[in-house]
Amino acid sequence: MRKVALVFVLAVLAPSLVLAWLAVRSLRDQQFLLERQQSLLYQKVTDTLAQNISDQLAQQQQDFSAHVETLVASNGARASALQFDEQIRKDWPLADVGFSVTLSGTATCTITCPSPTSGPEAQRFLVDNGGFLGNEEAAEVYWNVNNSKVGFQSSLKNNDSSLGLNSLDSKQNANVPSLADNAGQNSFFTKGKARAVSPQSANYQQQASQANAPQDENLSKVIPAEAEFRQLIGNDTDGMVARFLQNKLKLMFWHRLSHDPNLVFGAQLNLNRLVEGLRASVQPDPALRDEICLAVLDDNARPVIISRPNFQAPWKRPFVATEIGEALPHWEIAAYLVNPAHLTQAAHTAELTLGLLIAVLVFAIGVGGWLIVADLNRQLALARQKTDFVSNVSHELKTPLTSIRMFSELLAEERVADPNKQRAYLQIITAETARLTRLINNVLDFSRMERGEKKYHFRDAELISLVRETVETYRPHLENCGFELECTLPPGEIPIRADTDAIAQVIVNLLSNAEKYSNGEKKILVEVSRREGPLPCAEARILDRGAGVPRGSEDRIFEKFYRAHDSLGSGIQGSGLGLTLARQIARAHGGDVIYEAREGGGSCFCLRLPLKMD
C-alpha cells in the first residue's frame, strides 16, 4: 500500500504539482506577454507609417527636382539660378526659401541666390546658411543622398576621395556612425527606426526592464555628423539636408543639374505645409482605430499630427514609437492606447480564467488520485480477504474431515463396543458431514451468485412450518452441544412465496452463527411473527446471548469475506460468507436480513420476507 502511495505521489501528484506551479508562475507574466504581443502588433503599424512618410518625402524630393529641371528648361540655367528663390516659391508651395549655389574648383561655392536684398526671409536664410552653403564652414547636419539611379553604396565608393570621406570619418566622434555605416542602410528615406517601447502601462514598463529590455530605448538612433556642403553633395544629383538652427528643424532639398553639374539648386521647406501634406496618411488601420491613436511627434515630443481629434495622452510616453529617420530627425510616429486599462483588464481576465482552469485541474487530479488510492485500498483489502478466505475454508474443511475420519475408523475397526458410544460417534459423523455440506453449499452458492448464475425456484410456502422444520433438523446437533433452543411460533400460517431450500439455508446459517458466536451462553431463541404496518411482512428472528457484533462492524459483517471475529483472534472457524449469502438470498426474495444488538447482550438477526399477495 505504501508502495502504491509512493508511486502515485512520484508519478502523478508531484508532476502535476510542478506543472501547476509552473502554470501559476506563467500566469504572473500574462499581462507582460499580452502587452508584448500588442506592442509587436502596434510597432508594425508605426514602422509602416514611418516608412510611408519617408516614401512621401522621397516623392516630394523627386517633385522638387522635376520642378528645377522644368524651370531650367524654360528659363535657362543661369537665369534660373539668379531668380530661383522667387520662381520656386511661386511654383512649389512647399518651398520657403529657394537657393542656388555655383560650384567652382574642388572646395569653393558661390551662393547665387537668394540675394541679401530680396527681403528679411532671404536675409535670415543667408545668415543661417551662408557659411555652410558657401562651403566656408562645416555644420552639424543629418544627411544622406537620395539617389535612386545610382546606389548609395556605389556612389560612396566612386566618390571616396573627392568626398574626403577619410577626413570626415576622422572628424566624427566615436558615437557618430560613419558614412560606411550609413551606406549599409540603403536609402536615406528608408531609415525609419523603431524606438523600442516606452509604454503607457507602468506594469509593462517594470516587467520589460526586468526582462532586460534594451536600456537605450529612449535614445535616438539618428545621429548628426559634421560636414561641409561640398563634402555632403559629392557627385550626387539629389539630396536632402536637415539641421537644427536655434533648436528648430530646417529641412532642405537640393538638386544638381545633370547637364551643368556646377549648378546646385535647393529649397528650404516650409515644415507646416509639409506636415499638412502628411496629415491624411496618419491613420491606423480601421480595425485598430478604436484601440490606438497615432501621432507624429516632433523633435520636442510635441504632437504635430494626431489621428483622433481631441485625444490626450502623456505624449512623451507612447506605447510604441518609430523614428522617421534622418529625413525628419528625432521625429517619431507614436502609437498610444486609447484605453490603457483595457489591456490590464484583458490580462486579468485571462489570468483569472487560467487560474481557475489550473485550480480545477489540480482539484480533478487530487480527487482522481484519491479515488484511485481508495479503489486500490479496497482491492488490496479484498485480495487480503480472499487469501484469508482460502485459509479459513481450508481450515473449516479440515476440522470436520478429521473428526469424520477418526470416528469412522474407530467404528470400522470395531474398537468401540458400547452401542451408546457407537450411536454418539455416528451422530458426530452425521453432524460434521452436515457442516461440511453446509460449508460447501455456501461456497458454491456464493460463486454462483458472483457469476450471476444463482437460480431460485419460487413457490407458495408457509414460513412458520418452514422455520419449524429447519430448526428441528438442527435441534439435535445444538442440544448435543449443550444448547438450550427455544422456538416461539405463533398459531396459524404466514404465507410467503419463496425458494424454501434457500430460506432454510438462511435460517441454518443464522443458527450456526448463533452457535459459533455464543461465547459460552448456550441459549438460542427463534421467533416468527407477522409484522403489521404500512408494509406488512413476515419476520423470523434468531437471538443469542453471545458477545454480539463488535461496534462499527454492524454493516460490514454482511460484506463478502468480512469477519468481525477473525479465526486467529477468536479461534472460531468461518469463511465470512454466511451472512453475505443470507442477505443476498433474502434480498432476492424482496426482503432482507438485519442485525440488531439484543437488549441484555447478544445478537438478534432478523430475516424479513414479504407476505404472499393473494
Instruction: List residues near ligand ADP by CB under 6 A.
Output: 513-514, 516-517, 544, 546, 548-549, 557, 563-565, 574-580, 603
What one-letter code names the amino acid at 512?
S
Q: What single-letter amino acid sits at 404?
A: I
Neighbours of 209 (CB within 10 A): 12
Q: Which is nearer to ligand ADP, 330 or 435 (CB)?
A: 435
Chain CA centroid to CA 600, Å? 64
Q: Which is nearer to ligand ADP, 141 or 557 (CB)?
A: 557
- Three-class SS state of 428: helix
Q: How far is the CB of 524 from ligand ADP (least distance, A)?
A: 9
The C-alpha atoms of residue 415 and residue 600 are separated, in whole angstroms, by 47
Cell, residue 7: 508511486
| Beta pairing, strands 238-245 & 248-256 | antiparallel
Cβ-in-10-Å burial (0-12, 13-18, 19+) of 231 comes to: buried
Please count the residues of the chain: 614
Whether the ω angle into residue 114 lies within 30 degrees of 0, i.e. cis, is yes
CA dist., res. 301 & res. 321, Å (int): 11
Report in angstroms how near the CB of residue 598 gets to ligand ADP at its nearest: 9
User: CB of 566: closest distance to ligand ADP in angstroms?
Assistant: 7
Answer yes or no: are the C-beta atoms of 264 and 100 closer than 8 Å. yes
Could you tell me the smallest distance in angstroms from the CB atom of residue 501 to ligand ADP? 18
DSSP 305-327: EESSTT----TTS-SEEEE--TT
Minimal distance, residue 574 CB to ligand ADP, in Å:
2
DSSP state of 199: -
Query: Whose Cβ is closer to ligand ADP: residue 327's or residue 506's?
Result: 506
**All 3 cell numbers of residue 129?**
546658411
Kindly state the DSSP code that residue 603 receives in the 8-state scheme: E
- Write the DSSP assignment of 28-97 as a string of letters: HTHHHHHHHHHHHHHHHHHHHHHHHHHHHHHHHHHHHHHHHHHHHHHH-HHHHHHSHHHHHHHH-TTEEE
Using the minimum distance from each CB to ligand ADP, give the nearer residue, 35 or 388. 388
The residue behind cell 405463533 is 490
Cell numbers 516659391 correspond to what residue? 89
Using DSSP's 3-state secondary structure scheme, residue 236 falls into coil
Question: CA 518, CA 396: separation in Å to the nearest integer?
Answer: 18
Shortest Å distance, C-beta 495 to ligand ADP = 28
Residue with smaller CB distance to ligand ADP, 141 or 524: 524
Which of 482, 88, 426 lies closest to 254, judged by CA?
88
